[in-house]
């Protein structure tokens, strides 16, 4: 993986969405063809032999690489969204994040016990969103669940809130500042 290319093109925005937060904006990677291809190829190589049957993308930046990876792996794509955005019956989970609380939902029939699931999102900060998604998926009793992020903010220690046996992979490790 060409980390230098990705880091050079990653945009950081101070005080977004609230004062004191340094927001790592992966949309600057998505708009760059070289970066997008680098992300796509790297993620595919990481998971091509994992038997993944469903990629679950977290709203909304997790949809970009999640859907692309699902296509390349020959897997289905499942969106996790904010309340009221999914049309069929859902299950939900509320959680705390670094600047408030929120709720996410998944279709009740999205995952089954035969699935090998990869949860994907752009960034691991404090981990609340992904832990909620992980808990939702685990309620559906899939064979296996893996977690992936493009960026992990190591100093925020979000990884520590997950169970010890959770398989978590990140492409880039940065500080939260």
Distance from C-alpha of 95 to C-alpha of 64, rounded to nearest angstrom: 23
Q: Which residues pair with 168 in a beta bridge?
A: 147
79-90 burial by CB neighbour count: b if 16+ within 10 A, else e?
bbbeeeebeeeb
Tokens at 32, concatenated: 């760059």
Whether 11 is catalytic is no
Sort strands 167-174 and 144-153 into parallel, antiparallel or unpaired: parallel
Task: From the candidates 38, 61, 105, 152, give the one annotated as an active-site residue.
Answer: 61
The pair phi, psi for residue 87, each rounded to 5°, is -80, -25
* 3 state DSSP class of 70: helix
Q: Rounded to an integer, what is the distance from CA 70 to the centroid of its chain?
A: 13
Task: From the candidates 11, 45, 59, 98, give the one annotated as an active-site residue.
Answer: 98
Whether 61 is catalytic is yes
Q: Which residues are catalytic?
A: 61, 98
């Amino acid at each position: 993986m060409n980390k230098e290319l990705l880091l050079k093109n990653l945009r950081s925005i101070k005080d977004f969405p609230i004062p004191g937060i340094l927001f790592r904006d992966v949309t600057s990677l998505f708009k760059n063809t070289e970066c997008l291809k680098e992300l796509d190829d790297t993620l595919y190589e990481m998971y091509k032999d994992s038997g993944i049957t469903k990629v679950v993308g977290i709203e909304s930046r997790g949809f970009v690489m999640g859907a692309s990876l699902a296509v390349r792996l020959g897997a289905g794509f499942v969106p996790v969204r904010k309340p009221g955005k999914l049309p069929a019956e859902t299950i939900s989970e509320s959680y705390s994040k670094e600047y408030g609380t929120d709720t996410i939902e998944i279709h009740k029939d999205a995952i089954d016990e035969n699935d090998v699931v990869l949860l994907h999102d752009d960034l691991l900060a404090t981990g609340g969103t992904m832990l909620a998604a992980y808990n939702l998926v685990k309620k559906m009793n899939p064979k296996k669940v893996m977690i992936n992020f493009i960026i992990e903010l190591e100093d925020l220690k979000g990884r520590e809130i997950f169970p010890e046996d959770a398989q978590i992979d990140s492409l880039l490790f940065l500080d939260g500042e």
